Structure 1
Amino acid sequence: MDWQHLRIETDRLILRPPQAEDFEAYAANMADAESARFIGGQQLRAVAWRGFLTLAGAWMIQGYSMFSVIEKASGQWIGRLGPWQPDGWPGSEVGWALTRSAAGKGYAHEGAAAAMDWAFDHLGWADVIHSIHPDNHASQVLAKRLGSSLRGPGKLPAPYEQTPIEIWGQTREQWRQRQRA
């Protein structure tokens, strides 16, 4: 698969691998304490740079990672979402992290649904999880809306092993059944 030219379009979004021009918006999002609260916390620009390169590098090594989310109407980078499975991760995750300006518009649902389709269809995943902090009620609502259910507490690898998370998820069969309903 030619991931460098991968582009998934939904009604309002473009999902594509990160590009250099996405970094400024990415760094601004990670500098925003509220936006970064449940994704590792607020970060200095140099730390955000390393995280951004981790996402880009995962595409090179694993052939997948979170997509940059581009709002079609404005052409602006509004977050990241998609498949994510670093070493030691509790499962094959489809996660999301959008900017505050994108919150409440249904973008996370629209993009996550497209990313789940892609993970099941192109990566062959049989199961998808979402690791969600117990206080992240907005992500819990989104997970439910996607059809995922709470499986119980989980544990992230170092350096996040002290961060409490709950594992939400569903199988490919459950996802497909919801699509047919």
Structure 2
Amino acid sequence: MSDYLTPSPNIETERLLLRGWRESDFETVAAIYADPDTAAYIGGVQDRRQSWRTFAALIGHQSLRGYTFYAVERKDTRDTIGWCGPWYPEGRPEPEIGYSLHKLHQGNGFALEAVTAALRDSYDRLGWSTAISAIDANNAASQKIAKRLGATWNGETFMLLPGRTGQIWRHLSPDRFRERFHDAA
């Protein structure tokens, strides 16, 4: 039996491995939610018990939808540094590409690398015809990544959480994405 909790294909990029979840990955989820800076745009700080429920929800999404966020692992260190990938829970307006990385691994281009690979996978393997990223209005770093991928915000918003409105950044269509990122991984 595999030690993976989610049956996901591995996606390799130059520096990253996007893969299914392992129970040991919970420590990364808990660390991201324990830090006020990294938790600020994904629902706020959570204690370990709350983080466990979030971790279980990530894994449960796989059972309900057939996909979920990938665990993001650095190939050079084998450290799990966060998550990225397809997400479409009840109440979201459209299929979404979401991500979060541990603070120690931000600012190195890992998020852009992971989101590019996850978006390609969602279009090619899952057959998505559209994708959005719901981004907190104050999250300039995620907005920058969305822009670099060609996503645009046209004023659409979405209630991320009670009292928290997010901007809906619309990604390029599958054909336009493939034209622009044909050789990027």
Q: TM class, shorter-chain normalised?
A: over 0.9
The alpha-carbon deviation at position 5 of structure 1 amounts to 5.3
- Tell me, in whole angstroms, the C-alpha distance in 2 between the residues paired with 1:95 and 1:29: 14
Q: Corresponding residue for 2:175? A: 173
Gaps of 5+ in 1: none
| TM-score, reference length from structure 2 | 0.91
Distance 1:74 1:91 in 2: 35
8 Å contact from structure 1 (residues 88, 156) kept in 2: no
Kindly indicate whether residue 28 of structure 2 is the aligned counterpart of residue 25 of structure 1.
yes
- Per the alignment, residue 48 of structure 1 pairs with 51
Amino acid of the structure 1 residue aligned with 2:9:
L
Partner of 1:71: 74
SS in structure 2 opposite 1:155? strand
Matching of residues 33-112 of structure 1 within 5 Å: 33-112=36-115
Which residue does the alignment assign to 2:154? 151
Which piece of structure 1 moves more, 171-180 or 76-85? 171-180
SS of the residue corresponding to residue 92 of structure 2 reads: coil
Matches of 2:8 and 2:140 in 1, distance apart?
35
1:11-32, CA deviations, whole angstroms, 9 ceiling, x for partnerless residues? Answer: 1101012110100121011101
Consecutive unaligned residues of structure 2, counting only runs of 5 or more, are 1-5
Secondary structure of the residue aligned to 1:164 is strand
1:127 equivalenced with 2:130 (yes/no)? yes
Which 4+ runs in 1 deviate beyond 3 A? Answer: none
Deviations 1:15-58 (A, max 9, x none): 01211010012101110110110000110111100000111111
Structure 1's 32 and 68: CA in aligned 2 closer, same or farther, altered over 3 A?
same
- Aligned-pair identity in percent equals 37
The secondary structure found in structure 2 opposite 1:57 is: helix
Q: What CA distance in whole angstroms lies between the structure 1 residues aligned with 2:9 and 2:72?
A: 13
